[in-house]
Structure 1
Amino acid sequence: MHSVFLLTGSNLGDRATQLSACIAALQNRAGTVTASSQVYETEAWGKEGLPPHLNQALHLSTTLSPLELLTVIHDIEHGLGRVRQEKWGVRAMDIDIIYYDDMVLNLPALTIPHPLMQERRFVLQPLTEIAAAYLHPVFRKTTAELLSSCADPLAVMPGNAGER
């Protein structure tokens, strides 16, 4: 079994329902979700003026290879209404592979660890909840250390799982 950390997010539609549906789809198609952070409401990163996201970090145990998992993730995103039109635009569902075992992978379709995770508080804060001591295989820093040195000023606040 492979140990994978994912970040899920939604800023379109019923965000909380989307996150729950995502977990169910991952359990059904990709493996076993063994841990999850609380849900966080986060400001949009990379583009101003977008609605806030609900984000959640997940730990997944899977037998899928990284590219097989990516294919399943894209299918799940599509099934939950994701349309890829604009980089950093609104999205019904976004699922990012953050870590896959201690693998370092640089392919045109997939980079592991996620190449911008260390710059994004909305990734690091929920991930620290379930993987604080996990060592980044390139930077050789724990997730908690990456969070403590993250300069991202955007707000990441515990959110309730329901819509406001």
Structure 2
Amino acid sequence: MKVKLAIEALKHLPGTQFICCSSLYSSKPMGAYEQPDYVNAVAMINTLLEPLDLLDQTQRIELEFGRERKEARWDSRILDLDILLFGNLQIKSERLIVPHYGMKVRGFVLCPLAEIAPGLQLPDGSIITNLVAVIDKDELTVLV
């Protein structure tokens, strides 16, 4: 499974300490395209990399696994690594938005994030467990 291999690749990023990873979660794909269910996880790392350097490294991993950047936003992809948070920084650039713009409404992000950081408070003051309590989790399955 490519997601497990990608998690292993994160463990070897330069200047980075891998802390932990959530369970794997299966979810229905976003958008109108016919494609297989997604497999999602959230990893926690400590890094000496700057945010854009970390983005470069995660995009390098995606390319190594065969990711092709297509124009259709919700098109199928082999691997998609997102930077959800970078400490308490708030970043808005052409290449990177942190906190990730959709994380507060996506169960496939919030549930694994709450699993590894249940006491987390987002930079805007939102509490992760409060966000998880109100999202739809019906189409989210923890993989064994």
Q: Is TM > 0.5 for Structure 1 vs Structure 2?
A: yes
Contact 2:30 2:74 in 1 (8 A): yes
Distance 1:44 1:134 in 2: 26
Give the CA deviation at 1:154. 5.6
Gaps (5+ residues) in structure 1?
1-16
Query: After superposition, what is the alpha-carbon deviation per residue over 1:32-74, rounded to whole angstroms, capped at 9, x for unaligned?
Result: 2211111111111233532101111110111101000000011
Partner of residue 131, structure 2? 146
1:27 pairs with 6, 11, 15, which one? Answer: 11
Deviating 4+ runs (over 6 angstroms): none
TM-score (norm 1): 0.81
Partner of residue 132, structure 1? 118
Whether 2:94 is the aligned partner of 1:108: answer yes
Ranked by relative contact order (alpha carbons within 8 Å, sequence separation 6 or more), the top structure is 1
The structure whose residues are more often strand, as a share, is: 1
Partner of residue 41, structure 1? 26
Query: After superposition, what is the alpha-carbon deviation per residue over 1:55-101, rounded to whole angstroms, capped at 9, x for unaligned?
Result: 11110111101000000011100101111112121111110111110
Whether 2:83 is the aligned partner of 1:87: answer no
Distance 1:145 1:48 in 2: 31
Count residues with an aligned counterpart: 142
1:78 pairs with 63, 66, 70, which one? Answer: 63
Distance 1:26 1:153 in 2: 27
Distance 2:137 2:127 in 1: 20
Distance 1:154 1:70 in 2: 31
TM-score (norm 2): 0.91
Distance 1:101 1:71 in 2: 18
Contact 2:33 2:74 in 1 (8 A): no
Q: Return 19-28 or 62-71, whichever deviates more.
A: 19-28
Gaps (5+ residues) in structure 2?
none
Q: In structure 1, the residue corresponding to 2:85 is in which secondary structure?
A: strand
Query: After superposition, what is the alpha-carbon deviation per residue over 1:97-141, rounded to whole angstroms, capped at 9, x for unaligned?
Result: 111101111111101000110111110111110012111112x11
Contact 1:43 1:154 in 2 (8 A): no
